Amino acid sequence: MDILAQVIGILGMLAAVVSYQCKTNRNYFIWQGLSGLCFSIQFVMIGAWAGLAFNLYNIVRAVVNQTKFSRSVVTLIALEALVVFAASLSIFAFMEAWWLVLLAFIAQATGTFAMWTKKGRVIRISQLAVVSPFWLLYDLLIPTPSIGGILCELFNMVSVIVSFIRFRKSGFDNT
């Protein structure tokens, strides 16, 4: 079961890495949703409840980002409220350590705000500076570390750097 969980995490990592090489935000969000689905399954299998809650949230966020309401302040507030709900659920219902949940919470809140801007450059800088480093810590420190999650965040950071080189300063599509 542990090996299968780690394989599913590695599939999630592959989907995330592909997402950073997408030039359009639409494709980016689709691949991010697939990554979130794989990691949700993995986190259930290894008992990492904040990881599960926040990856399910990633799927919802990816879908919302494809709607006409994705740029509204109300949508942003609702998404951020879901992040708070997921964090609370992880701490109070699943009894996960608050400091582990806080790491994932910071990553999710930052990533949601960045995606709300719909600016490829902002999304990628946030990923490199906050989202990936905080998820990396979470993946390393949970009782059963997520090999796919650890590799994913390392590859995500490298992939973001590659996308900056590849697309240059103004090559990101904001549609």
134 in a structural domain: yes
Residue 1: which pLDDT band, with cuts at 50, 70 and 90?
low
67 in a structural domain: yes
172 in a structural domain: no
Task: Give me the pLDDT at residue 175, please.
Answer: 45
The mean pLDDT value for 102-121 works out to: 85
What would the pLDDT profile of 118-153 be if each residue is shown by its tens digit?
A: 788 888 899 999 999 999 999 999 999 999 999 999
The mean pLDDT value for 36-50 works out to: 92
Task: Give me the pLDDT at residue 171, please.
Answer: 55
pLDDT exceeds 80 at position 69: no
6 in a structural domain: yes
Task: Give me the pLDDT at residue 89, please.
Answer: 84
pLDDT exceeds 70 at position 71: no
DSSP of 110-146, one letter per residue?
HHHHHHHHT-HHHHHHHIIIIIHHHHHHHHHHSSS--
40 in a structural domain: yes
CB atoms within 10 A of CB 66: 12
| Total domains in the fold of the chain | 1
Range of the domain at 89: 2-167
